[in-house]
Amino acid sequence: MEKPEYTIGVTALNAIDNPGPGIPVIRALREAKSFNVRIIGLSYESLEPGIYMHELVDKTYQIPYPSAGTDLLLERLEYIQDQEKMDVIIPNFDAELFSFIKLQPKLKAMGIHVFLPTPEQFEERLKVNLTEFGEKYDIPVPESEAIFSMDKIADIANDYDWPVLVKGKYYDASVVYNIEQARIAFNKISSKWGLPIIIQKFVHGTEYNITGLGDGKGNTIAAVPMRKQYITDIGKAWGGIAVSDDHLLELTRDFIAKTKWQGGFELELMKNKKGEFILLEINPRIPAWIYLAVGVGQNIPEALVNLALGKRVEPFKKYSVGKMFIRYSWDMMVELSEFEKISTTGEL
C-alpha cells in the first residue's frame, strides 16, 4: 500500500553547541514508516545550519521572532502556506510555542495541523509556577522563587544554602556559588530573556531526562528515559544512555495521566542521594536529544504527526536499553550565494 506524503514545517534548525531539536526531529520524520515527507524549514536567523542541509530540508523560509507578535507570524505563515500547502507544523522552541498555541484555530482553517499542549498546560508548567505545579500533582520539586530584583538574591540563597541555580523564564541556567556570581548570572540571563529570574535550590545527584508523548486524554503514547553521560559547560547533554527504570516510567505515566498532557515533552530530573527523583523543570516540546528515542525504537515525531492529523496511534510498549547517543560537529561548506539569498529574500 502506497504511503501518504505530508509536507511538514519544522522550526529550531540551529544545530550548534546548544542545539535546537529541529534537525533530529527532521531525521526522525525522514525515517517514518507510516508516511513520506517534504520538509519545510522555518528559521529565525540566516546562519542556522539546518537551512543549508539540503539532504534533510527541502526548502526554508524565515519567520519573525516570537517577540514580533502573532499577527506578523500569521501573515508570514499564510504566505508560506500559499506556496507549500503544509499539513503539519512542529514548533520546537519554548519561546515560540505560545504563539503557535494561540494561532491553532487559524492554522487549522489554513489546513495546518499542530499537536501542542493546551494554554493551561503550557502556563502551569512554567518555571515560575513549578512549586504550585508540584503541589497540585503531588510531584517532588525543589524549592524555588521568582524574583524581579537582584536585592532578593542574598536572602533566598542563604535560605537554600549555596550553590543555587539561577534560571531564565524560558532558557539558560547557571549554578552559582556566591552572591557575585549570582548577580552576574541574573544580569546575563535577564538581558536575554527578561524577568522574572528564578532562584532554585540546588539538588545534588545524577541528572536524568525523559522524553515522551501524551495523547491529551491521559494516555502515554511514548516515554524514553535517558541518563546524561557527558554534559557541556552550559549544561547540555552531549552524550546520554537510554535506561530502564520503573520509577522514572511510573512518574512519567503519572504526570501524563494527571495533567492529560497533549504533545511532546521533556522532564528534567535529578536523582538525589536518597534515590528520590526530583523534577527540576518541564519542557513543553520535543528535546534536542530526541533521536535517541528513535534509535531505541520509539519514533516520537512520527507518532506526533499522526496524532496531529487525527489518526489512531498505538502506544509504544518497549524500547532498547543500553544504547547511547554521542553528539559531534563537522564543518559544512556553504555557497555564499545561498547565505545571501536567505538573508535578502527570506527563502532558500
Residue 347, all three cell numbers:
527563502
* Between residues 230 and 61, the one the model is more confident about: 61
Q: Give the pLDDT confidence of 329-339 residue by residue, as tens digits.
A: 889 999 999 99
C-alpha of 50 from chain center = 17
- Could you give the CA distance from residue 307 to residue 100 in angstroms, rounded to a whole number? 17
Residue 22 pLDDT: 96
Does 16 have pLDDT greater than 80? no
Beta-bridge partners for 43 = 62
Of 198-212, 228-242, 271-285, least confident by mean pLDDT is 228-242
Q: How many CB atoms lie within 10 A of CB 85?
A: 13
Q: Domain map of the chain by residue range?
A: 5-115+331-345, 143-201, 204-326
Does 297 have pLDDT greater than 90? yes
pTM here? Answer: 0.92
- Residues 79-103, mean pLDDT to the nearest whole number: 97
Return the CATH fold of 143-201: Dna Ligase; domain 1 (3.30.1490)
Burial of 165 by CB count in 10 Å (0-12 exposed, 13-18 middle, 19+ buried)?
buried
Residue 235 pLDDT: 67
* Between residues 62 and 19, the one the model is more confident about: 62
- Residues 235-250, mean pLDDT to the nearest whole number: 88
Share of the chain above pLDDT 70, in %: 99
Of 14-18, 73-77, 78-82, 282-286, least confident by mean pLDDT is 14-18
CATH architecture classification, 204-326: 2-Layer Sandwich (3.30)
- Could you give the CA distance from residue 283 to residue 229 in angstroms, rounded to a whole number? 20
- Residues 244-271, mean pLDDT to the nearest whole number: 96
Q: Contact at 8 Å (CB) between 25 and 11?
A: no
Q: Give the pLDDT confidence of 120-146 residue by residue, as tens digits.
A: 999 999 988 999 999 999 999 999 998
Return the CATH fold of 5-115+331-345: Rossmann fold (3.40.50)
- Residues 238-258, mean pLDDT to the nearest whole number: 94
Judge if 5-115+331-345 and 143-201 fold alike in CATH terms.
no
Mean pLDDT of the chain: 93
Residue 346 pLDDT: 95
Q: Give the pLDDT confidence of 149-176 residue by residue, as tens digits.
A: 888 888 887 788 889 999 988 778 889 9
Residue 69 pLDDT: 93
Share of the chain above pLDDT 90, in %: 80
Does 299 have pLDDT greater than 70? yes
At 234, the pLDDT band (50, 70, 90 cuts) reads low
* Between residues 235 and 242, the one the model is more confident about: 242
Residue 330 pLDDT: 86
Residue 229 pLDDT: 84
Q: Contact at 8 Å (CB) between 34 and 306?
A: yes
